[in-house]
Amino acid sequence: MKILAGNSNRPLSEAIAAYLGVPLTKCQVRRFADMEVFVEILENVRGQDTFVIQSTSFPTNDHLMEALIMIDALRRASARRITAVMPYFGYARQDRKPGPRTPISAKLVANLITRAGADRVLTVDLHAGQIQGFFDIPTDNLFAAPVLVRDIQDKLDLSNVMVVSPDVGGVVRARALAKRINAPLAIVDKRRERAGESEVMNIIGEVKGKNCILVDDIVDSGGTLCNAAEALLKKGATDVRAYITHGVLSGGAVARISASMLKELVITDSIASTEAVRVARNIRVVSIAPLIGEAIDRTAKEESVSSLFN
């Protein structure tokens, strides 16, 4: 087994390698003066089962090109099998045509990864499950739920917890987590009655006196989470936490969350934490390195990955 790390999230790659007891394969991923990506693999990989770990987080296009070029380098070096391990798949929100003359970029990126030479893909909490069908190669979509559930069980009294979906589209994900901890489910229904008017948030479910947990796959600007937390507290919730897999946290999201009524935002390390995230008063990071490491180990041994979530 050979594990290669791109530049997007070196700490996660090192943690995965440590879990597996396998050193990271020596390779150079650097830039020419005009920022063109250059990759050189410094170890023999002929006939090896290889895993390229790279999230397509900010800067998304740079990290995507790094991954594609690393995959191409491995293919030309005669690696036996190449698995693209993408803890965060960046273009997943563009999974359909929202209007005329718009792209389906998730499918384009899937094509690029396949054509570059990947034999399979391993990712975590895809924004839309059907993206697995965009790939013409085997794709494993891992779920961060076991890691988040373990943290919830360690930190909270489950007798008074209510799981909340921040929008109608995330109900399936929230329901799955609620089932794991045997908690009731509520839904935030947000709507804008007229153009130019602020959103009205209605809460479906009785949250009064409950410790609410907002569950979602991605937090980007943080606006929806902050507004949902405010709406829940107005309806009598005792406190509100959020458990989110991918902490994109672009722009002023960290400042927005730090100033919000959220008691705590828990994210995974699928995306490397910025300094602002590390010092934020109410943001905490839990690691999915053991989860991905175990999935890599099972893939290499041709064992079941789905049984991780039974």
Which positions are catalytic? 190
Cα distances from 246 to residues 10, 111, 126, 165, 227, in angstroms, run 16, 23, 10, 16, 19
Q: How far apart are CA 105 and CA 76, in angstroms?
A: 27
> Do 200 and 193 meet the contact criterion of CB atoms below 8 Å apart?
yes
Number of neighbours of residue 111 by Cβ within 10 angstroms: 13
Number of neighbours of residue 84 by Cβ within 10 angstroms: 27
Q: Which residues are annotated as a binding site?
A: 34-36, 93-94, 127, 167, 192, 216, 220-224
Q: Which residues are annotated as a binding site for ATP?
A: 34-36, 93-94
Q: Which residues are annotated as a binding site for Mg(2+)?
A: 127, 167
Q: Which residues are annotated as a binding site for D-ribose 5-phosphate?
A: 192, 216, 220-224
Crossing angle of helices 145-155/289-300, nearest 10°?
Answer: 140
Which residues, at least 6 apart from 209, have a Cβ–Cβ distance to it below 8 Å? Answer: 160, 236, 237, 238
**Is the preceding omega at residue 146 within 30 degrees of 0, hence cis?**
no
